[in-house]
Amino acid sequence: MNPILRRLGKAIGVPNSLVGHAALCPTYVPLLSADEIAQLALQAELLIDIHGQREVHDHHAGDWPSAWLGRGLDYEESRPYAAGDDIRDMDWRTTARSGRPFLKIYREERQPILHLVVDRGASLRFGTRRRLKVTQAARVAILLAFAAARDNTAVGATLWDSDDLELPPLHGRAGALALAEALTAPCPPLTQTTPTEPLRDLDHLAWLDANLPRGARLVLVSDFAWLDGEHESLLARLAERLDVLALRVSDPAERQLPNLGLACFHDLSRPGARWLDTAQADHGERLSQQLRQRGERLARAGIRHIDIASEVDDLLPLLARHA
């Protein structure tokens, strides 16, 4: 057996008995090659240049104001004293001037955290042009991770899958490389015979709300096919505590279905098949309406969102304007 194929199979978790077929079977091939990851790392440098890069000597205490209020170096404001407050923080000048006890509040400095959530569910494992939606989601996340690492931001991630994967925040390229390795793992279609559970979207959002520190930056990369009204309150709570950005990945066939006549479609996210008349004039409008409704739900929750087509190669123009 070719030793290169054997090492590749070991790296991506393919059994030895199947390694010989891995080169011919895309199921066992990583979503992105090493060269493609390297290109994304180079594009991340350009993304930082576009945003304006600070000099190294400018990084000191106070560079990153946090949404947290507590003990720190910088005075934030004064507020009336309440029972149980620490008297060591009394603002004696304001107290003497107003005749009422006041307390000093300080701004606590924390290094920024970027947490990337990448959906690898069944509906993302689909594509008709250029690449799968899950591959585009991986490209976006890797680009943002390398840019954040270069900007001295700790990068963590959650991969939503049949078995979720949590990556703790890490600094520098080590964190970005760990994320890239996880995101490019083979991602075969989830068929009805695949032993998997539906994505627990409410539990996912509740976990983010409970575990991410206030003021962190959260980027959700998904097609948001799971999004409905019951998720809005949790998303709104996340938007109150965090800087949230949603990146919606879509395939051309989801925006405008080609005229194939009467065709049978299989739902990738749940069992069953459905016959559709693709020649109907209003079919494209219904697809567009679904995308608009998802965007409206995100907007009502106070979350910025960007639409990213799966066939787009150059991600810099989109991310430079909004991310």
If we measure between CA atoms, which residue out of 122, 130, 123, 77 comes closest to residue 103?
A: 77
Domain for residue 15, yes or no?
Answer: no
Instruction: Give the number of domains in the chain.
Output: 2
Give pTM, 2 decimals.
0.71
Q: How many CB atoms lie within 10 A of CB 135?
A: 22
Give the separation between CA 225 and CA 45, rounded to whole angstroms.
Answer: 32
Domain that holds residue 86: 66-109
94 phi and psi, to 5 degrees? -65, -35
Q: Is the pLDDT of residue 302 over 60?
A: yes
Tokens at residue 39, please? Answer: 């290109």
Same domain, 95 and 121: no
In this structure, are 178 and 199 located in the same domain? yes
Whether 179 is covered by a domain: the verdict is yes
Residues 284-295 pLDDT 10s: 677 778 888 999
Per cent of the chain over pLDDT 90 is: 43
Report which of 183, 164, 188, 196 is spatially closest to residue 29, judged by C-alpha positions: 188
In a domain, 14, yes or no: no
Q: What is the pLDDT of residues 147-198, one digit of tens each?
A: 998 888 899 999 998 889 999 998 888 889 999 999 999 988 876 544 444 4
* Residue 256's pLDDT band (cuts 50, 70, 90): confident
Q: Indicate whether 101 and 119 sit together in one domain.
A: no
Domain presence at residue 4 = no
Cβ atoms of 309 and 250 closer than 8 Å: yes
Average pLDDT for the chain: 79
Of residues 182 and 82, the one with the higher pLDDT is 182
pLDDT of 281 reads: 61
Q: Is the pLDDT of residue 62 over 50?
A: no
Residues 96, 235 within the same domain: no
312 located within any domain: yes
pLDDT at 5 over 60: no
> Which residues make Cβ contacts (< 8 Å) with residue 311, sequence separation at least 6?
129, 130, 131, 251, 252
pLDDT of residue 204 exceeding 80: yes
164 within some domain:
yes
